[in-house]
């Protein structure tokens, strides 16, 4: 029996320590939250000091915080939320749809003011909208849209159009192409971003090119590297390779160089997302260009939509039916890289 | 003697499968049989083969390591961070130091806490991945400024790519360790009968820890090659690496209950898997068919092995 | 002095303590909606953990259940479009059963270790799930079907009710039937079982079939909750299920374990991740936290032995001093 008591004490201590740690971190967050809200209050100077913490919580549930793109998006949500006097919390789905539902349910059960959501599996998000509607919490989608209804607005850039943009860039700039052979290294085939490569494919095929190879790099650079090696083996005359994200594009350009070819001359690589470490390869020519999106703007815009809706303002959609607001997409290449860096 | 022969016949049949597959793929896509592609395949082989050599030691000692995929990611982040600030050699030193620490940690959890290898390395897999992601802090760590590191993945010596030379070296050392030294003998004896080894004076716990260190250290080579290939560190790579490496070792004919490893088989099996992946890739077959092929081949190899061992035991029973 | 099996009671004590603390400290935690969501989360993985309890008691484990769940889900959702709910559910269950049977036959009748067999099916079934609908997600729209995942009866989530019923049935099988006795005996010594005339192959094979069926039920709940079946679902499912079983005090070496504790452990596991979510702990730290909890669970045995050793030593000392 003594044994059990001792252990119970140990377990209790561990749990308490955990609890304390958890509280500590959340308190820290609260502090930073109130600090920044205080600073924003100062700048507005009209806000009352007495409003205790903040107006409420704006939560962002993210696809995967291991990707720089989403870190930037989260930054946008965070700064806009705190500027408006809200507290900001975030949740990481880690690309797992079960975690997405679990985490969003937990957020909604805490009566937050607004949920900004990038669903890693948009088809699976229906039950989240249902719960949100039950609770009267607005959901705003960022970056990835869904077919189900029940959200307030959806801010994204059309990924298919992004692929088209890249395709047209190739058609316009590589007029002296000889073999007119292109290849694609895509994300996992069940990923919603797969439409990027579809857009690219359709545009190029309409322009008289052939897609010689389409392999899945599963979003990971190391897999994309060996895919690129194999593409060169099978099609030594391939001229353009479209990669569905920048890490894959960078590693593909490395594979081209390692194969004894010159990236940018023999094989041109195009990426997607305009991640910060792609600018250097673009400037020195190993990566031809990348399709830039505006994740920070999406995050900011999502909070903006919420605030407008709160004030009773009408939201204007680019597509009324799906309540979509399209954000900008543009090509970054060696000519304008310095501008956006 | 008979056992040795049977192992050799196993290796030969495995090599036969490789040759047949290679010919089939060459017929489907003639570019398979070019010097360029064979070099590529061998470089791709090196990625799993080197770590699989270490894993063969682990299996021989009766344990295995689920955590090397996370080690791969952690090392890639650490190397990228240290190489850009302090240079290539400190980075490589740090990589090996971390791997050795992970190996020791795994070994201590298994031997001192008495937790099964699967469970212990599952824990370290989760923890190390967490550390890697925390260190990377949601960003990829670029390595462009350090051109020297590129040598690891694409440098050549006498026209042979460095990863292939590295593989040869690692296997030469492994063969020597495994078959010619007291250390190898002890590892095998620990795997086949831990109690007997302990009684005969072998420090079994040390041997098991050493096997874990070897596995983690060989994973460093794989990680270095990968990092040098893509030229940045990323905390999400290698999710399936541990399972891939284990599949290789098992396909190679190493007995998973311990005691009997087959380094040659491991090497041939890594070639087999690389040929499958490469062959399907250059024929533009979707990645999930690759998984299916590897899974089905693994299952059939197992069934085949199961039938053979059953026949053997029956024969022994009849003869005895 | 009666020897107390720590692993047996620790999990429920921890759960009570955790819930106590959270009830006192966190307003969001004690709402009915949140508690319901915990139970709902506990059920989907928990049901698979029930089957896994049988497997681990036998001293094996199954890595393929995540892939199996995806595969069964795809089959079920695919059939639902043109066949209706009931045939689709039957097809899903059949898929789970067949997958379990394949595992069972290879493991039991060809004597291949469970670890590698299920490693093989882990790859193959995941690939088949992708191939089934060319990697596309299948959306389920049938409201009656979706109710299985999202509905509740008298405030208790339907998945949890299914979980409890299954747990009760499996507990009876494990503790009150000959089959259950054989399973437990197998974990202690397979050789002894074979000598004493138990058809060990059949027992083993049946356990994997049971695992397949449990996974199919999990698949129904996951699919209904997400309103879609996708091939990349449940990537870490096997780890979660194994963690729950081990948290419940079932030893990885086999021989003993209890269904009741697995249920409690499932609720505990869901509660912990709920708490971490409520305090908005970063995903990376959550991962580290889960790893530590897992380590603690695996170390139960060691801690227990260690304490027992200390006690013996102190007892010896007191005897000597007397």
**What per-residue confidence (pLDDT) applies to B171?**
94
Please, what is the average pLDDT of chain B? 86
Given an 8 Å threshold on Cβ–Cβ distance, is A91 in contact with C289?
no
Picking from C6, C280, C308, the nearest residue to A89 by CB comes out as C280
Determine the distance in angstroms separating the CA of B59 from the nearest CA of chain A, rounded to an integer: 26
Asked if A336 has any chain B CB less than 8 Å from its own CB, the reply is: no
Angle made by CA atoms A183, B281, C125, in degrees to the nearest 5: 120
Could you give the ipTM of this predicted complex?
Answer: 0.86
Distances (CA, A) of A296 to A54, A124, A281, B5, B255: 23, 25, 22, 65, 53
CATH tag for A159-292 (out of 3.20.20.150, 3.40.50.2300, 3.30.1300.10, 3.90.10.10): 3.40.50.2300
Chains that touch A (3 or more CB pairs under 8 A): B, C
CA gap B271, B260 in Å, rounded: 21
Q: Which residues of B touch C292 (CB under 8 A)?
A: 127
Given an 8 Å threshold on Cβ–Cβ distance, is C130 in contact with A190?
yes
Asked if A120 has any chain B CB less than 8 Å from its own CB, the reply is: no
Helices and strands: H and E segment counts in chain C: 13, 4
Q: Which residues touch B44 (CB under 8 Å, ≥6 apart)?
A: A226, A229, B274, B277, B278
**What per-residue confidence (pLDDT) applies to C319?**
64
Largest CA distance in chain B: 68
Beta strands in chain A (DSSP E): 57-62, 87-92, 114-117, 139-142, 153-156, 181-186, 210-216, 240-243, 268-273, 289-292, 324-326, 330-333
Residue A30 reports pLDDT greater than 70 = no
Question: Homologous superfamily of B2-285 in CATH?
Answer: ABC transporter involved in vitamin B12 uptake, BtuC (1.10.3470.10)
CA gap A310, A67 in Å, rounded: 31
**What per-residue confidence (pLDDT) applies to A37?**
38
Instruction: Give the nearest chain A residue to C31 (CA atoms).
Output: A109
Angle made by CA atoms C108, C109, C115, in degrees to the nearest 5: 40
* pLDDT classification of A53: cutoffs 50, 70, 90: low
* pLDDT classification of A27: cutoffs 50, 70, 90: very low
Distances (CA, A) of C60 to A296, B305, C63, C196, C204: 49, 19, 10, 21, 10
Q: What percent of chain B has pLDDT over 70?
A: 97
C196, burial (CB in 10 Å: exposed 0-12, middle 13-18, buried 19+): exposed
pLDDT in tens, chain C (322 residues): 444 555 567 788 888 888 888 888 888 888 888 888 899 989 999 999 999 999 999 988 898 999 999 999 999 999 988 888 899 999 999 999 999 999 999 999 888 888 888 988 998 999 999 998 888 888 888 888 888 888 888 888 999 999 999 999 999 999 999 999 999 888 888 888 888 888 889 999 999 999 999 999 999 999 998 888 988 888 889 888 988 888 888 877 777 888 998 999 999 989 988 888 888 888 778 878 888 877 877 777 677 777 777 777 777 766 666 5
At residue C39, the 3 state secondary structure works out as helix
Instruction: Give the nearest chain C residue to A1 (CA atoms).
Output: C4
* pLDDT classification of A11: cutoffs 50, 70, 90: low
CA gap C203, B194 in Å, rounded: 29
Q: Which of B70, B225, B239, B282 to probe the A interface (max A CBs under 10 A)?
A: B282
Instruction: Give the nearest chain B residue to C60 (CA atoms).
Output: B118
Instruction: Give the nearest chain C residue to A103 (CA atoms).
Output: C277
What architecture is the A54-157+294-327 domain classified under in CATH?
A: 3-Layer(aba) Sandwich (3.40)
Residue A32 reports pLDDT greater than 50 = no
Given an 8 Å threshold on Cβ–Cβ distance, is C291 in contact with B126?
yes
Residues B209-222 pLDDT 10s: 999 999 999 999 99
Q: Which residue has the tokens 């797969």?
A: A194
Q: Which residues of C touch A89 (CB under 8 A)?
A: 280
Picking from C117, C131, C291, the nearest residue to B123 by CB comes out as C291
Residue A39 reports pLDDT greater than 80 = no
Given an 8 Å threshold on Cβ–Cβ distance, is C227 in contact with A123?
yes
Residues A185-203 pLDDT 10s: 998 877 778 888 899 999 9
DSSP secondary structure of A237-274: T--EEEESSHHHHHHHHHHHHHTTS-BTTTBEEEEEE-
Q: Which residues of B touch A65 (CB under 8 A)?
A: 138
Asked if C165 has any chain A CB less than 8 Å from its own CB, the reply is: no
Q: Which of C23, C249, C279 to probe the A interface (max A CBs under 10 A)?
A: C279
Picking from C37, C130, C303, the nearest residue to A105 by CB comes out as C37
**What per-residue confidence (pLDDT) applies to C101?**
95
Strands B156-157, B160-161: pairing kind: antiparallel
Tell me, letter by letter, the H, E, C secondary structure of chain B: CHHHHHHHHHHHHHHHHHHHHHHHHHHHCHHHHCHHHHHHHHHHHHHHHHHHHHHHHHHHCCCCCCCHHHHHHHHHHHHHHHHHHHCHHHHHHHHHHHHHHHHHHHHHHHHHCCCCHHHHHHHHHHHHHHHHHHHHCCCCEECCCCHHHHHHHHCEECCEEHHHHHHHHHHHHHHHHHHHCHHHHHHHHHHHCHHHHHHCCCCHHHHHHHHHHHHHHHHHHHHHHHHHHHCEECCCCCCCHHHHHHHHHHHCCCCCCCCCCCHHHHHHHHHHHHHHHHHHHHCCCCHHHHHHHHHHHHHHHHHHHHHHHHHHHHHHHHHC
**What per-residue confidence (pLDDT) applies to C322?**
58
Angle made by CA atoms A224, A229, A230, in degrees to the nearest 5: 95
Q: What percent of chain B has pLDDT over 90?
A: 29
Determine the distance in angstroms separating the CA of C192 from the nearest CA of chain A, rounded to an integer: 33
* pLDDT, mean of residues A69-81: 90
Picking from A11, A22, A106, the nearest residue to C10 by CB comes out as A11
CB pairs under 8 A between A and C: 128
Instruction: Give the nearest chain B residue to C111 (CA atoms).
Output: B306
* pLDDT, mean of residues B118-136: 87
Picking from A11, A97, A111, the nearest residue to C230 by CB comes out as A97
Asked if A247 has any chain B CB less than 8 Å from its own CB, the reply is: yes
Residue A95 reports pLDDT greater than 50 = yes
Given an 8 Å threshold on Cβ–Cβ distance, is B230 in contact with A275?
no
Instruction: Give the nearest chain B residue to A94 (CA atoms).
Output: B236
The string over C148-171, giving b where at least 16 C-beta atoms fall within 10 Å of a residue's C-beta and e elsewhere, is bbbebeeeebbbbbbbeebbeebb
Asked if A9 has any chain C CB less than 8 Å from its own CB, the reply is: no
Residue A43 reports pLDDT greater than 50 = no
DSSP secondary structure of C145-197: HHHHHH-EETTEEHHHHHHHHHHHHHHHHHHHSHHHHHHHHHHH-HHHHHHTT
**What per-residue confidence (pLDDT) applies to A15?**
52
* pLDDT classification of A265: cutoffs 50, 70, 90: confident
Given an 8 Å threshold on Cβ–Cβ distance, is B294 in contact with C123?
yes
Domains, chain C, with CATH or none:
6-22+31-304 (1.10.3470)
Picking from C111, C126, C253, the nearest residue to B306 by CB comes out as C111
CA gap C115, B81 in Å, rounded: 36
Given an 8 Å threshold on Cβ–Cβ distance, is B232 in contact with A277?
yes
Instruction: Give the nearest chain B residue to A92 (CA atoms).
Output: B138
Asked if B43 has any chain A CB less than 8 Å from its own CB, the reply is: yes
Residues 57 to 116 of B: which have CB under 8 A from any A CB?
none
CA gap B6, C64 in Å, rounded: 31
At residue A325, the 3 state secondary structure works out as strand
Q: Give ranges for CATH 3.40.50.2300 in chain A.
A: 54-157+294-327, 159-292
Instruction: Give the nearest chain C residue to B311 (CA atoms).
Output: C110
**What per-residue confidence (pLDDT) applies to A47?**
37
Residues A149-164 pLDDT 10s: 788 888 888 888 889 9
Picking from A23, A109, A121, the nearest residue to C137 by CB comes out as A121
Q: In chain B, what are the domain boundaries?
A: 2-285
Given an 8 Å threshold on Cβ–Cβ distance, is B154 in contact with A258?
yes
Structure tokens at C270: 């869901």
Determine the distance in angstroms separating the CA of A95 from the nearest CA of chain C, rounded to an integer: 10
Q: Which of A230, A235, A262 to probe the B interface (max B CBs under 10 A)?
A: A230
Task: Please tell me the least confidently modeled range out of A123-127, B228-232, C282-286.
Answer: C282-286
**What per-residue confidence (pLDDT) applies to B143?**
81
- Compare A15 and B82 and report the one with higher pLDDT: B82
Given an 8 Å threshold on Cβ–Cβ distance, is B298 in contact with C298?
no
Residues B161-172 pLDDT 10s: 899 999 999 999
**What per-residue confidence (pLDDT) applies to C21?**
87
**What per-residue confidence (pLDDT) applies to C90?**
93
Angle made by CA atoms B243, B247, B253, in degrees to the nearest 5: 150
CA C21 to chain centre: 26
Please, what is the average pLDDT of chain A? 80
* pLDDT, mean of residues B71-87: 90
Residues B254-299 pLDDT 10s: 877 778 888 999 999 999 999 998 988 888 887 888 888 888 888 8
Q: Which residue has the tokens 């705003």?
A: A140
- Minimal CA–CA distance to B255: which of B316, B318, B308, B195? B308
CA gap A171, A331 in Å, rounded: 13
CA gap C223, C81 in Å, rounded: 14
For chain B, give the number of residues.
320
């Amino acid at each position: 029996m003594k044994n059990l008591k001792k252990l119970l004490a140990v377990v209790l201590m561990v749990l308490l320590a955990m609890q304390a740690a958890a509280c500590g971190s959340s308190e820290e967050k609260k502090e930073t939250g109130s600090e920044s809200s205080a600073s924003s209050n100062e700048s507005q100077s009209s806000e009352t000091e007495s409003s205790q913490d903040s107006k409420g919580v704006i939560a962002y549930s993210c696809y995967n915080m291991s990707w720089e793109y989403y870190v930037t998006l989260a930054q946008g949500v965070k700064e806009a939320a705190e500027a408006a006097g809200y507290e900001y919390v975030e949740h990481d789905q880690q690309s797992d749809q079960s975690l997405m539902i679990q985490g969003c349910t937990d957020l909604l059960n805490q009566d937050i003011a607004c949920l900004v959501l990038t669903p890693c599996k948009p088809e699976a998000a229906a039950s989240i909208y249902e719960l949100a509607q039950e609770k009267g919490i607005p959901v705003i989608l960022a970056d990835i849209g869904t077919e189900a209804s029940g959200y307030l607005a959806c801010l994204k850039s059309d990924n298919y159009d992004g692929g088209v943009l890249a395709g047209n860039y190739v058609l316009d700039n590589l007029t002296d192409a000889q073999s007119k052979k292109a290849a694609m290294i895509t994300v996992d085939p069940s990923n919603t971003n797969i439409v990027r490569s579809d857009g690219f494919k359709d545009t190029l095929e309409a322009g008289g090119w052939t897609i010689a190879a389409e392999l899945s790099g599963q979003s990971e650079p190391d897999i994309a590297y060996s895919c690129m090696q194999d593409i060169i083996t099978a099609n030594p005359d391939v001229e353009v390779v479209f990669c569905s994200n920048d890490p894959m594009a960078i590693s593909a350009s490395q594979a081209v160089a390692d194969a004894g070819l010159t990236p940018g001359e023999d094989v041109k690589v195009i990426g997607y997302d305009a991640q910060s470490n792609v600018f250097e390869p673009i400037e020195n020519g190993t990566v031809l260009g990348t399709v830039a999106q505006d994740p920070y703007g999406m995050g900011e815009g999502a909070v903006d939509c919420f605030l407008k809706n709160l004030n009773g303002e009408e939201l204007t959609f680019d597509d009324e039916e799906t309540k979509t607001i399209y954000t900008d997409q543009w090509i970054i290449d060696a000519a304008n890289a310095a501008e956006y860096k | 003697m008979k056992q040795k022969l049977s192992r050799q016949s196993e290796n030969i049949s495995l090599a036969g499968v490789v040759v047949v597959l290679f010919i089939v793929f060459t017929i489907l896509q003639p570019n398979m049989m070019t010097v360029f592609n064979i070099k590529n395949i061998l470089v791709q082989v090196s990625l799993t083969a080197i770590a699989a050599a270490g894993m063969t030691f682990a299996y021989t000692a009766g344990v295995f390591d689920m955590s090397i995929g996370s080690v791969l990611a952690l090392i890639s982040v650490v190397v990228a961070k240290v190489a850009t600030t302090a240079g290539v050699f400190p980075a490589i030193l740090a990589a090996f130091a971390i791997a050795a620490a992970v190996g020791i940690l795994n070994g201590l959890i298994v031997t001192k806490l008495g937790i099964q290898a699967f469970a212990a390395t599952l824990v370290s897999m989760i923890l190390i991945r967490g550390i890697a992601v925390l260190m990377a802090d949601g960003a990829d760590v670029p390595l462009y400024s350090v051109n020297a590191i590129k040598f690891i993945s694409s440098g050549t010596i006498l026209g042979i790519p460095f990863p292939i030379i590295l593989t040869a070296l690692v296997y030469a050392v492994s063969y020597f360790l495994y078959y010619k030294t007291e250390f190898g003998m002890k590892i095998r004896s620990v795997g086949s009968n831990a109690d007997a080894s302990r009684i005969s004076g072998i420090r079994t716990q040390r041997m098991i820890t050493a096997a874990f260190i070897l596995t983690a250290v060989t994973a460093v080579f794989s990680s270095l090659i990968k990092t040098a290939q893509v030229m940045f560190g990323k905390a999400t790579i290698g999710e399936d690496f541990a399972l891939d490496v284990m599949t290789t070792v098992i396909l190679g004919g190493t007995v998973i209950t311990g005691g009997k490893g087959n380094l040659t088989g491991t090497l041939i099996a890594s070639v087999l898997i690389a040929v499958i992946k490469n062959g399907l890739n250059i024929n533009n077959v979707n990645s999930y068919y690759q998984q299916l092929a590897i899974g089905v081949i693994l299952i059939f190899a197992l069934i085949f092995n199961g039938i053979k061992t059953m026949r053997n035991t029956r024969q022994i029973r009849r003869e005895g | 002095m009666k020897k107390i099996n720590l692993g047996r009671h620790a999990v429920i004590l921890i759960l009570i303590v955790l819930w106590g603390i959270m009830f006192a400290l966190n307003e969001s935690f004690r709402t009915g909606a949140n508690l319901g969501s915990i139970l709902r989360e506990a059920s989907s993985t928990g049901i698979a953990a029930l089957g896994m309890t049988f497997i681990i008691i036998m001293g094996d484990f199954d890595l393929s259940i995540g892939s199996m769940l995806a595969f069964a889900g795809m089959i079920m959702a695919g059939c639902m479009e043109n066949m209706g709910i009931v045939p689709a559910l039957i097809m899903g269950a059949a898929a789970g059963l067949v997958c379990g049977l394949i595992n069972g036959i290879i493991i039991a009748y060809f004597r291949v270790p469970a670890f590698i067999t299920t490693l093989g099916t882990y790859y193959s079934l995941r690939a088949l799930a992708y191939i089934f609908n060319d990697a596309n997600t299948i959306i389920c729209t049938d409201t009656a079907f979706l109710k299985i995942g999202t509905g509740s009866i008298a405030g208790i989530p339907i998945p949890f009710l299914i979980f409890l019923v299954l747990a009760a049935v499996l507990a009876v099988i494990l503790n009150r039937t000959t089959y259950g006795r054989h399973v437990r005996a197998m974990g202690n010594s397979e050789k002894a079982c074979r000598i004493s005339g138990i058809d060990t192959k059949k027992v083993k094979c049946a356990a994997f079939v049971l695992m397949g069926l449990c996974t199919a039920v999990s698949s129904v709940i996951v699919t209904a909750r997400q309103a879609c079946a996708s091939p990349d679902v449940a990537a870490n499912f096997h780890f979660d299920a194994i963690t729950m079983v081990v948290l419940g005090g079932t030893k990885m070496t086999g021989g003993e374990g209890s269904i009741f504790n697995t249920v409690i452990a499932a609720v505990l596991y869901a509660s912990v991740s709920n708490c971490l979510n409520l305090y908005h702990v970063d995903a990376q730290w959550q991962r580290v936290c889960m790893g530590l909890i897992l380590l603690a669970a695996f170390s139960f045995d060691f801690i227990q032995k260690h304490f027992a050793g200390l006690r013996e030593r102190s007892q010896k000392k007191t005897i000597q001093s007397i």
